[in-house]
């Protein structure tokens, strides 16, 4: 993307949005009054070792983000201290790491072409279709949780890919994986040093159960949290036995999942140095890239007026990129077999439905 910038009013605070798509990262600087003052894009690579296999590197993606952010700040000619907050969105790709902090954890290979030894390939991309057999097996369980995804488990979701890793890795290789992230949640972990899973990610792509009380601990609520019986039924019982900590770093014993944009912490010294920002800069809860687009579309101003939540529920968002998604909001869930992915993932009262 050609870098662009526009004049900046020093009276405005600046906020940084980072969008990670299928082949590049974009950093955009936006004032508190909504003016875009700079944007910069940096590509990253994808490996295709076999048909239907798409693999990426979290280190390369993070490096591309750092390049984009530094370039956008230089383009806007602002002091990094003027950036008051940062938000991430990214594709719903699966990221594998050992346990630990961003300083101690290491990428874990997901690539059978290297016998799972090339740890630079630690992301199964969203469009990777290796887990077809696992998705069929999960669908055949007919578990009640599947009604939230139209009764059919997509091979592009994270649980079939997780099951594929378990089925195809040696026991030693499988045990190396301490954490499996959705890419948006990897980015907030890398930025803050703590596990702050996005409600958008875990509900939409992992079959995590969340109701109107979200944000609250779900361990004591029957209908909230990881569906451990489902995990056992599909062959991931050992993950359930460990309080599901392998999944995004959030278990059923007191951890929280977070709404989009909710303040979850500040940049670490390391992340701030790499991004060219100030340590402690506020970081918001992440979202999947299409859902970030839906928030902007459903809430966009129309004829000079900003949409209320009620008005936003009368719109449909069509997000087109490497794939296309259609998203709506509703005050109540509408389950359509084979069609809709339904989740309470935007806020505490409105359901998100999409295909």
- Residues 266, 51: Cα–Cα separation, whole Å: 40
SS (H, E, C) 100-150: CCCCCCCECCCCHHHCCCCCCCCEECCCCCCCHHHHHHHHHCCCHHHHHHC
Mean pLDDT calculated for residue range 190-200:
91
| Residue 327's pLDDT band (cuts 50, 70, 90) | confident
Asked whether residue 77 carries a pLDDT value surpassing 80, the answer given is yes
Asked whether residue 45 carries a pLDDT value surpassing 80, the answer given is yes
**Model pLDDT for residues 289-321, shown as the tens digit of each residue:** 888 777 777 777 777 666 677 777 778 778 777
Predicted confidence at residue 72, as pLDDT, reads 98
**Model pLDDT for residues 127-179, shown as the tens digit of each residue:** 999 999 999 999 999 999 998 888 999 999 999 999 999 999 999 999 999 99
Mean pLDDT calculated for residue range 204-221:
60
Select the more confidently predicted residue: 298 or 90: 90
Mean pLDDT calculated for residue range 25-33:
95
CB-based burial of residue 11 (10 Å sphere; 0-12 exposed, 13-18 middle, 19+ buried)?
A: exposed
Percentage of residues of the chain with pLDDT beyond 90: 62
What angle, rounded to 10 degrees, do the helices at 132-140 and 158-168 form? Answer: 110
- Residues 186, 11: Cα–Cα separation, whole Å: 33
Asked whether residue 217 carries a pLDDT value surpassing 50, the answer given is no
Between the two ends of the chain, the Cα-to-Cα distance in Å is 28
Q: Please, which residues bridge with residue 325 across strands?
A: 319
Architecture of domain 4-354: 2-Layer Sandwich (3.30)
Predicted confidence at residue 352, as pLDDT, reads 59
Asked whether residue 218 carries a pLDDT value surpassing 50, the answer given is no
Asked whether residue 346 carries a pLDDT value surpassing 80, the answer given is no
Task: For the chain, give every domain's residue range.
Answer: 4-354
Asked whether residue 214 carries a pLDDT value surpassing 50, the answer given is no
Report the candidate in 228, 256, 230 with the shortest Cα–Cα distance to residue 242.
Answer: 228
- Residues 86, 165: Cα–Cα separation, whole Å: 32
What is the pTM for the complete model shown? 0.89
Predicted confidence at residue 3, as pLDDT, reads 56
Mean pLDDT calculated for residue range 177-184:
96
Predicted confidence at residue 354, as pLDDT, reads 58
- Residues 156, 94: Cα–Cα separation, whole Å: 10
Q: Are 75 and 42 in contact (CB under 8 A)?
A: no
Which among 118-127, 143-152, 219-228 has the top mean pLDDT? 118-127
- Residues 95, 72: Cα–Cα separation, whole Å: 26
Predicted confidence at residue 306, as pLDDT, reads 66
Asked whether residue 25 carries a pLDDT value surpassing 50, the answer given is yes
């Amino acid at each position: 993307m050609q870098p662009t910038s526009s004049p900046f009013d020093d009276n405005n605070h600046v906020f940084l949005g980072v969008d990670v798509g299928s082949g590049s990262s974009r950093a955009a600087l936006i004032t508190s009054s909504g003016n875009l003052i700079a944007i910069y894009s940096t590509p990253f690579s994808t490996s295709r070792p076999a048909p239907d296999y798409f693999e990426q590197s979290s280190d390369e993606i993070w490096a591309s983000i750092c390049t984009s952010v530094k370039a956008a700040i230089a383009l806007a000619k602002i002091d990094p201290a003027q950036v008051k907050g940062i938000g991430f969105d990214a594709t719903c790709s699966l990221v594998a790491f050992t346990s630990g902090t961003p300083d101690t954890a290491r990428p874990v290979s997901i690539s059978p072409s290297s016998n799972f030894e090339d740890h630079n390939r630690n992301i199964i991309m969203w469009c990777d279709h290796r887990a077809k057999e696992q998705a069929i097996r999960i669908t055949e369980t007919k578990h009640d949780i599947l009604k939230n995804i139209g009764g059919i488990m997509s091979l592009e979701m994270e649980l079939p890919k997780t099951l594929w890793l378990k089925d195809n890795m040696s026991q030693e290789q499988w045990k190396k994986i301490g954490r499996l992230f959705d890419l948006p949640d990897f980015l907030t972990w890398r930025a803050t040093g703590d596990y702050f899973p996005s409600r958008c990610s875990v509900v939409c792509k992992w079959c995590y159960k969340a109701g109107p009380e979200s944000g609250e601990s779900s361990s004591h609520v029957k209908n909230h949290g990881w569906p451990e019986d489902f995990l056992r039924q599909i062959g991931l019982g050992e993950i359930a036995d460990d309080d599901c900590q392998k999944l995004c770093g959030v278990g059923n014993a007191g951890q929280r999942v977070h709404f989009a944009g909710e303040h979850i912490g500040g940049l670490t010294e390391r992340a701030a140095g790499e991004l060219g920002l100030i340590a402690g800069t506020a970081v918001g809860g992440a979202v999947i890239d299409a859902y970030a687009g839906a928030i902007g579309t459903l809430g966009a101003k129309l004829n000079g007026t900003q949409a209320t939540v009620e008005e936003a529920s009368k719109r449909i968002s069509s997000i087109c990129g490497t794939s296309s998604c259609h998203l709506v909001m509703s005050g109540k869930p509408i389950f359509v077999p084979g069609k809709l992915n339904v989740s309470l993932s935007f806020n505490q009262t409105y359901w998100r439905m999409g295909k």
